[in-house]
């Protein structure tokens, strides 16, 4: 099976920030609602996916809040391979957590009106104790790669296990950029909020995390733009790839 199509879907401020004080304002919340409707609402524009993928920091910020998982270091060895507890959930939340550190309390998350079953995406270095912890919580997991997480294998496995042809990548900036650099992202969909807060150094749509990816000029091709009801703009780009130097 070829890998599923991957699209980044993000909401950001006028100045390209994906976090900040503009978010919990009236304008920010109205724009996030538009963002949600496009991918998870009843009349969604993207309707071939079964959930979204996020990086470890996004999961900690939004759901697990930097708690420490309750590990049993003396747990019996768990069977090798993947562990899927819910094979037919309407939506999944794929959490990229190579070392296995996120302290889930339950095996689902809720985002607006959507409930999604949590699937941890682990590398081969996640410990037996952590996998035992996930099993006790009923959280599914997929192992991709050895000591380093293999993003391509993770995407392919999600497609095979859950029968999906499309995956939404929900951020943050580090994971977004790693997917672009790895050639694993086909489209970027942006809901641009008509607000900004001017915070210096706040995280942007793409961030090259030095542990995982390098910066590189990259081209995108506009494929659509549409004003939304609240004054946000929905922008869609195809990913083209690295740009050669002018005159080179
Ligand atoms: N506006 C939006 O649409 C939106 C959407 C999502 C998130 N956010 C915000 O973005 C912020 C988090 O973004 P972030 O960039 O700091 O973190 P992130 O992309 O959510 O997570 C990065 C982490 O994912 C893990 N990872 C595994 N393989 C990776 C790879 N190949 N490349 C990159 N990361 C990999 C690493 O975890 P380890 O450190 O454990 O190795 C890495 O530190 C949060 O504040 C969140 O709220 C905004």
pLDDT tens column, 67-88 = 999 999 999 999 999 999 999 9
Q: How far is CA 2 from CA 6, 159, 166, 184, in A?
A: 12, 9, 11, 12
Is 178 a pocket residue for ligand 1 (Cβ < 6 Å)? yes
Is 57 a pocket residue for ligand 1 (Cβ < 6 Å)? yes
Asked if residue 155 belongs to a domain, the reply is: no
- pLDDT, tens digit, for every residue of 193-217? 999 999 999 999 999 999 999 999 9
Q: Which of 92, 127, 150 is the last residue of a domain?
A: 150
Is 164 a pocket residue for ligand 1 (Cβ < 6 Å)? no
CB within 8 A of 106, min separation 6: which ones?
118, 137, 138
Is 11 a pocket residue for ligand 1 (Cβ < 6 Å)? yes
- 3-state SS record for 137-178: HCCEEEECECCCECHHHHHHHHHHHHCCCEEEECCCHHHHHH
CB within 8 A of 235, min separation 6: which ones?
189, 190, 191, 192, 222, 224, 225
Q: 3-class SS at 37?
A: helix
What is residue 247's predicted lDDT score, i.e. its pLDDT?
83
Q: Quick one: 6 and 90 in the same domain?
A: no
Q: Quick one: 239 and 219 in the same domain?
A: yes
What is the token pair recorded at 129?
């104790």
Question: Could you tell which of 59, 95, 96, 197 is best to mutate to test the pocket of ligand 1, judged by most ligand atoms within 8 Å of the CB?
Answer: 96
Q: Which of 84, 116, 150 is the last residue of a domain?
A: 150
Q: Which of 91, 126, 150 is the last residue of a domain?
A: 150
How far, in Å, CA of 106 to CA of 151, rounded?
A: 25
Is 153 a pocket residue for ligand 1 (Cβ < 6 Å)? no
What is residue 185's predicted lDDT score, i.e. its pLDDT?
98
Indicate if the pLDDT at residue 7 is higher than 70. Answer: yes
Q: What is the mean pLDDT of residues 116-123?
A: 98
Asked if residue 241 belongs to a domain, the reply is: yes
Asked if residue 23 belongs to a domain, the reply is: yes
- Residue whose CA lies nearest to ligand 1 atom number 13: 172
Is 170 a pocket residue for ligand 1 (Cβ < 6 Å)? yes
Average pLDDT of the residues of the chain: 97
128 CA from centroid of ligand 1 (Å): 24
What is residue 2's predicted lDDT score, i.e. its pLDDT?
85
What is residue 156's predicted lDDT score, i.e. its pLDDT?
97
247 CA from centroid of ligand 1 (Å): 35
60 CA from centroid of ligand 1 (Å): 9
For the CA of 35, the nearest atom of ligand 1: 3
What is the token pair recorded at 132?
């035992």
CA 191 to chain centre: 16
96 CA from centroid of ligand 1 (Å): 8
Asked if residue 157 belongs to a domain, the reply is: no
Is 126 a pocket residue for ligand 1 (Cβ < 6 Å)? no
> Which residue range forms the structural domain that includes residue 130?
51-150
Q: Quick one: 55 and 86 in the same domain?
A: yes
Is 34 a pocket residue for ligand 1 (Cβ < 6 Å)? no
Q: Quick one: 71 and 142 in the same domain?
A: yes
Q: What is the mean pLDDT of residues 169-185?
A: 97
What is the DSSP annotation of 193-244? Answer: -S-----TT--BS----TTT-----EEEEEEEEEE-TTS-EEEEEEEEEEPP
For the CA of 213, the nearest atom of ligand 1: 32
Indicate if the pLDDT at residue 248 is higher than 80. Answer: no
Pairing mode, strands 187-192 and 233-242 = antiparallel
Indicate if the pLDDT at residue 1 is higher than 80. Answer: no
- pLDDT band at residue 219 under the 50/70/90 scheme: very high
What is residue 66's predicted lDDT score, i.e. its pLDDT?
98
Cis peptide before 123 (omega within 30 of 0): no
Is 55 a pocket residue for ligand 1 (Cβ < 6 Å)? yes
CA 111 to chain centre: 14
Give me the percent of the chain exceeding a pLDDT of 70.
99
Structurally, the chain folds into a number of domains equal to 2
- Residue whose CA lies nearest to ligand 1 atom number 7: 172
What is residue 28's predicted lDDT score, i.e. its pLDDT?
98
């Amino acid at each position: 099976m070829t890998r599923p199509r991957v699209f980044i879907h993000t909401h950001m401020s006028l100045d390209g920030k994906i976090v900040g004080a503009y978010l919990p304002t009236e304008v920010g919340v109205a724009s996030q609602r538009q963002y949600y409707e496009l991918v998870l609402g009843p009349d969604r524009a993207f309707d071939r996916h079964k959930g979204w993928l996020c990086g470890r920091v996004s999961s900690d910020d939004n759901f697990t809040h930097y708690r420490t998982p309750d590990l049993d270091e003396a747990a019996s060895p768990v069977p090798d391979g993947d562990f899927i507890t819910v094979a037919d959930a309407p939506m999944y939340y794929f959490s990229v957590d190579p070392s296995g550190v996120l302290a889930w309390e339950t095996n689902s998350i809720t985002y607006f009106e959507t409930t999604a079953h949590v699937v941890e995406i682990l590398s081969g270095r996640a410990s037996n104790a952590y996998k035992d912890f996930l099993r006790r919580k009923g959280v599914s997991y997929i192992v991709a790669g050895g000591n380093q997480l293999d993003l391509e294998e993770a995407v392919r496995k999600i497609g095979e296990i859950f029968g999906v042809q499309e995956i939404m990548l929900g951020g943050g900036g580090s994971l977004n950029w790693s997917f672009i650099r790895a050639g694993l992202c086909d489209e970027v969909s942006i809901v641009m909020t008509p607000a900004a807060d001017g915070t210096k150094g706040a995280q942007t749509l793409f961030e090259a995390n030095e542990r995982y990816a390098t910066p590189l000029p990259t081209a995108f091709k506009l494929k659509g733009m549409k004003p939304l009801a609240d004054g946000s703009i929905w922008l869609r780009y195809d990913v083209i790839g690295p740009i050669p130097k002018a005159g080179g």
